[in-house]
C-alpha cells in the first residue's frame, strides 16, 4: 500500500513539474527577449535562451512610444472594467431570474437553453453582420465593443450564475418574504452578496477574455483611431517581419495589470469559498 502511494506521489510530482515548466518557460523567454537588443537575437538555441549582455529598459520605452501606451491602456481599462461591472450586474440578475424560474415554469428552462446555446456560435460567423449593424447604428466605437462583450459573455456567465444559485437555499428568500422584503430587496441584500465568489470568477473570466481580445476591437473600432493594447501591439508585425524585442516588451507591460487583477480576484474566490464552508 505504501509503495502504491509513493508511486502515485511520484507521478503527481512529475506532472506538476512538467506543468510548471510548460507555464514558466514561455514567460522566461518573453522576459529574456524583452530585455535583449535585436543584435543579440540569434537562430541557435543557446543564443535564444541566454541572458542579455546588458539589461536595459530601452525596449520597454520604445514599445510604449510605438503603441501610444497610456492612451491604449486607458481604452483597455475603460472597456474591460465597464464590461466586468455591467456583466456582474446584468448577468447575475438574469441568472437569478432564470435559475429560480426554472423550478416553477418550464418556459424558463427553454430560455436558459436558448441563452446558453450562444456559447456554440463562433465569432467568425457573426463578424461580418456585426460590423455592418454596428456601423449602421453608430456603434463602431468603445461603447459598441462593450455592448458586444456583454452579449458574448452572457451565455457563459448565466450558466455560471445559474449553477451557483443551486448552492443558495431558497429558504433564505422565503424567510425574507415573510419579513416583508420585496424580491428586488431580497436579491440585493441577501442573494447578491452571497454570490461574491461567483462574482470574482465571472470577473476573472470576463477580464481575461476582454483584455486579450483583438478581433472585436479590430473589426468594430477600425479607423476610429482608438486602440486597445492588443490592437496597438499589431504595430510590431509587418509584412517584412516582426520586431520581437519590442513586441515582447509590450506584452509584458500589458500583462502586469491583468495579472494584478487576477491575483486580487483569486484571493477573493478562496476567501469566499472558505467563509462559506465555515458558515455551513
**DSSP symbols for 57-77:** SHHHHHHHHHTTHHHHHHHHH
Q: How far apart are CA 244 and CA 246, in angstroms?
A: 6
**Helix runs in the chain, H state only:** 2-35, 45-49, 58-66, 69-101, 106-116, 123-136, 142-152, 154-165, 170-178, 183-186, 192-194, 196-212, 215-220, 229-232, 244-279
The CB density around residue 192, as the number of other CB atoms within 10 Å, is 16
Q: How far apart are CA 171 and CA 186, in angstroms?
A: 12
Single pTM value for the model:
0.82
Q: Would you state the pLDDT for residue 277?
A: 37
Q: Which residues contact 70 (CB under 8 A, 6 or more apart)?
A: 64
Q: Would you state the pLDDT for residue 269?
A: 60
Q: Would you state the pLDDT for residue 239?
A: 47
Q: What angle do CA 99, 105, 110 make, to 5 degrees?
A: 70
**Backbone CA torsion sign across 261, 266, 269, 270:** negative
Q: Which three cell numbers stand for residue 143?
A: 461603447
Q: Would you state the pLDDT for residue 47?
A: 61
**Residue carrying the nine cell digits 446584468:** 90
Helix orientation angle between 142-152 and 123-136, rounded to the nearest 10 degrees? 140
Burial of 257 from C-beta contacts in 10 A (0-12 / 13-18 / 19+) = middle
Torsions phi, psi of 242, nearest 5?
A: -130, 135
Identify the CA nearest to 202 among candidates 89, 113, 112.
Answer: 89
Distance from first CA to last CA of the chain, Å, rounded?
Answer: 35
Q: Would you state the pLDDT for residue 280?
A: 38
Q: Would you state the pLDDT for residue 1?
A: 54
Q: Would you state the pLDDT for residue 85?
A: 95
pLDDT tens, the chain, 280 aa long: 555 656 667 788 888 888 888 888 888 888 888 888 777 766 555 566 778 878 888 888 888 988 888 999 999 999 999 999 999 999 999 999 998 888 788 888 999 999 999 888 888 888 888 888 888 888 888 899 999 999 999 999 999 899 888 888 888 888 888 888 888 888 998 899 988 888 888 898 899 899 989 888 988 887 777 888 988 888 776 644 667 888 888 889 888 888 888 788 776 665 544 443 334 3
Amino acid at each position: 500500500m505504501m509503495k502504491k502511494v509513493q508511486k502515485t506521489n511520484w507521478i503527481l510530482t512529475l506532472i506538476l513539474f512538467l506543468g510548471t515548466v510548460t507555464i514558466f518557460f514561455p514567460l522566461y523567454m518573453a522576459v529574456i527577449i524583452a530585455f535583449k537588443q535585436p543584435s543579440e537575437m540569434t537562430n541557435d538555441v543557446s543564443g535564444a535562451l541566454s541572458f542579455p549582455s546588458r539589461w536595459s529598459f530601452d525596449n520597454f520605452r520604445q514599445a510604449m512610444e510605438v503603441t501610444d501606451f497610456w492612451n491604449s491602456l486607458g481604452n483597455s481599462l475603460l472597456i474591460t472594467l465597464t464590461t466586468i461591472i455591467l456583466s456582474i450586474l446584468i448577468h447575475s440578475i438574469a441568472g437569478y431570474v432564470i435559475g429560480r424560474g426554472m423550478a416553477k415554469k418550464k418556459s424558463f428552462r427553454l430560455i436558459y437553453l436558448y441563452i446558453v446555446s450562444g456559447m456554440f456560435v463562433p465569432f467568425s460567423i457573426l463578424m461580418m453582420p456585426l460590423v455592418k449593424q454596428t456601423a449602421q447604428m453608430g456603434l463602431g466605437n468603445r461603447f459598441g465593443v462593450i455592448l458586444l462583450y456583454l452579449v458574448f459573455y452572457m451565455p457563459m456567465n448565466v450558466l455560471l450564475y445559474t449553477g451557483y444559485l443551486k448552492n443558495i437555499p431558497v429558504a433564505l428568500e422565503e424567510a425574507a418574504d415573510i419579513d416583508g422584503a420585496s424580491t428586488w430587496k431580497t436579491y440585493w441584500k441577501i442573494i447578491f452578496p452571497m454570490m461574491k465568489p461567483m462574482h470574482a470568477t465571472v470577473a476573472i473570466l470576463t477580464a481575461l477574455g476582454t483584455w486579450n481580445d483583438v478581433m472585436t476591437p479590430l473589426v468594430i473600432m477600425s479607423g476610429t483611431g482608438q486602440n486597445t493594447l492588443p490592437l496597438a501591439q499589431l504595430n510590431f508585425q509587418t509584412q517584412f517581419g516582426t520586431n520581437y524585442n519590442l513586441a515582447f516588451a509590450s506584452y509584458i507591460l500589458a500583462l502586469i495589470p491583468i495579472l494584478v487583477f487576477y491575483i486580487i480576484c483569486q484571493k477573493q474566490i478562496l476567501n469566499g469559498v472558505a467563509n462559506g464552508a465555515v458558515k455551513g
